[in-house]
Amino acid sequence: MTDPIADFLTRLRNGIMANHKVVDIPASNVKKEMTKILKDKGYILNYKFVDDGVQGTIKIALKYNPETKISAIKNLKRVSKPGLRKYCGATELPRVLNGLGIAILSTSQGVMTDKEARQKNVGGEILCYVY
């Protein structure tokens, strides 16, 4: 697999399109941190890390509106790709939907949102946009 983060986003996107309750994704440290951010920001209901001895999996419970059955995640967009990495400094961090969405960044201080990176005054690689 050349791009595991794109695979993570695609599995989430496919689970949402098929109205699945739970999505299983192969685990990695970056994916675990991204999952924690999605939970903290209210885009998913819950998650569970299952260690099966080899790589492990992440079980993500997707969040839907109870009346309309519309997902909390409207769009997932991969920004930095293996063929073209996108970096930004602390001063030019992106605002997703004028602050309504989040950008997930990989910085020297770990994986964090654009808002946290602005507060800590660090830049890094823009992994994806979520709104």
pLDDT in tens, 44-97: 999 999 998 889 999 999 999 999 999 999 999 999 999 999 999 999 999 999
Cβ 25 vs Cβ 58: under 8 Å: yes
Cα distance between residue 52 and residue 71, in whole Å: 29
User: Secondary structure of 87-112 in the HEC alphabet?
Assistant: EECCCCCCCHHHHCCEEEEEECCEEE
Its pTM stands at 0.93
CATH number at 94 reads 3.30.1490.10
Query: Mean pLDDT in the chain?
Result: 95
Mean pLDDT of 14-23: 96
Domain assignment present for 69: no
Whether residues 36 and 81 share a domain: the answer is: no
Same domain, 83 and 124: yes
In a domain, 25, yes or no: yes
Is the domain of 125 the same as that of 82? yes
Domain that holds residue 54: 4-62
Mapped onto helix, strand or coil, the DSSP state of residue 128 is: strand
Instruction: Identify the three-state secondary structure at position 28.
Output: coil
Are residues 80 and 126 both part of a single domain? yes
* Total structural domains within the chain: 2
Nearest CA to 106 out of 3, 29, 26 is that of: 29
124 and 97 in one domain? yes
pLDDT of residue 52: 85
Residue 6: other Cβ atoms inside 10 A: 16
Q: Is residue 71 part of a domain?
A: no
Q: How far apart are CA 53 and CA 122, in angstroms?
A: 35
| pLDDT average, residue stretch 4-24 | 96
Confidence of residue 19 (pLDDT cuts 50, 70, 90): very high
User: What CATH number is given to the structural domain containing 49?
Assistant: 3.30.1370.30
Query: What pLDDT score does 53 carry?
Result: 80
**The residue to which tokens 């930004």 are assigned:** 88
